[in-house]
Structure 1
Amino acid sequence: MRILIDMDDVIANAVERFLEWYERDFGVRYTKEDLRGTKLHMIVPEEHRKIVKEYPHCEDFFKDLPVIEKSIEVVEELNNRFEVYIASAAMEFPYSLPHKTKWLDKHFPFIHWKRRIFCGDKSVLKGDILIDDHDFNLSVFDGRAIMFSSPHNLNDTKYERLDSWLDAEKLFDLK
């Protein structure tokens, strides 16, 4: 079985970086609960929206992102049993490429570089399962689409859902 796994907000905590940078720039700390069903740029004052939307285009945004809890252990176990690929639509953010590569080397060294896909359009992916946090990626996937919970997608009900990597342990019968 081939399992494709997204990076941002699935194994790498980009939401936390948005919250950190917003606090750094504007002195206000939003929480993940504040983002329930939306993204940060939608709830900040209108005069800050453009800046927040530009964050992922900044050179260091993707550098050393926090790891999503239990993702390393569970993805490693999946990798031991199945054909696992990391698939990130990274081409939209060219500065992210070296940071994502180094991040994977550091945290997921068991995912061989040949199983790392940096693309722009995930409709080209072929596999049995895609675990992703965005409808626009899941909706174009031909296999089993599984939504990984992130604050912005909590109101989406179209997909099978994983709320955490502990749920993935159960789903894939890893324990």
Structure 2
Amino acid sequence: MVSSATEFDNCLDDKHNWLKEHFPFIGWRQLVLCGTKQGIEGDMMLDDHPKNLDFFPGKRYIFTQPHNIYISNPTYIRVNNWSEVFKLL
């Protein structure tokens, strides 16, 4: 799990607490909190911001949110909820 979490003052603590609450099975060894995802490589990336997906060399999944609903990019696979995400895994 990689998350941009250092852009705003309270974001790091808030994001970490949210992840612990909603994804308690992800331990601290599997968590990377960073300022930018541009150095991240892997098989897939799920994100709600195209700025994080555009550079990624693997499969790109865009999680539908109000700020990206009208973005259409043929290199993205759109997912609308966590049930759809889990089916991909």
Name the TM-score, length of structure 1 as normaliser: 0.46
Question: Which residue matches 2:77?
Answer: 160
Please state if 1:132 is matched with 2:50.
Answer: no
SS at match of 1:101: helix
- What are the superposed Cα offsets for residues 115-165 of structure 1, whole Å, 9 maximum, x if unpaired? 111111111112100000111000011111110101111111111110112
Count of paired positions: 87
Alpha carbons of 1:97 and 1:147: their partners in 2 closer, same or farther (altered >3 Å)? same
* Percent of paired sites with the same residue: 40
- What are the superposed Cα offsets for residues 22-56 of structure 1, whole Å, 9 maximum, x if unpaired? xxxxxxxxxxxxxxxxxxxxxxxxxxxxxxxxxxx
More helix by share: 1
Picking from 5, 27, 32, the partner of 1:112 is 27
- What are the superposed Cα offsets for residues 82-120 of structure 1, whole Å, 9 maximum, x if unpaired? xxx2x2111101311122222222221110111111111
Gaps of 5+ in 2: none
Question: Which residue matches 1:170?
Answer: 87
SS at match of 1:92: coil
Which residue type is aligned with residue 82 of structure 2?
W
Which residue type is aligned with residue 168 of structure 1?
V
Please state if 1:148 is matched with 2:67.
Answer: no
More strand by share: 2
Which residue type is aligned with residue 41 of structure 2?
K
Q: Which has the greater radius of gyration?
A: 1
Rounded Cα–Cα distance in structure 2 between residues aligned with 1:117 and 1:94: 17
Which residue type is aligned with residue 125 of structure 1?
I
- What are the superposed Cα offsets for residues 50-90 of structure 1, whole Å, 9 maximum, x if unpaired? xxxxxxxxxxxxxxxxxxxxxxxxxxxxxxxxxxx2x2111
Name the TM-score, length of structure 2 as normaliser: 0.86
Gaps of 5+ in 1: 1-84
SS at match of 2:9: coil
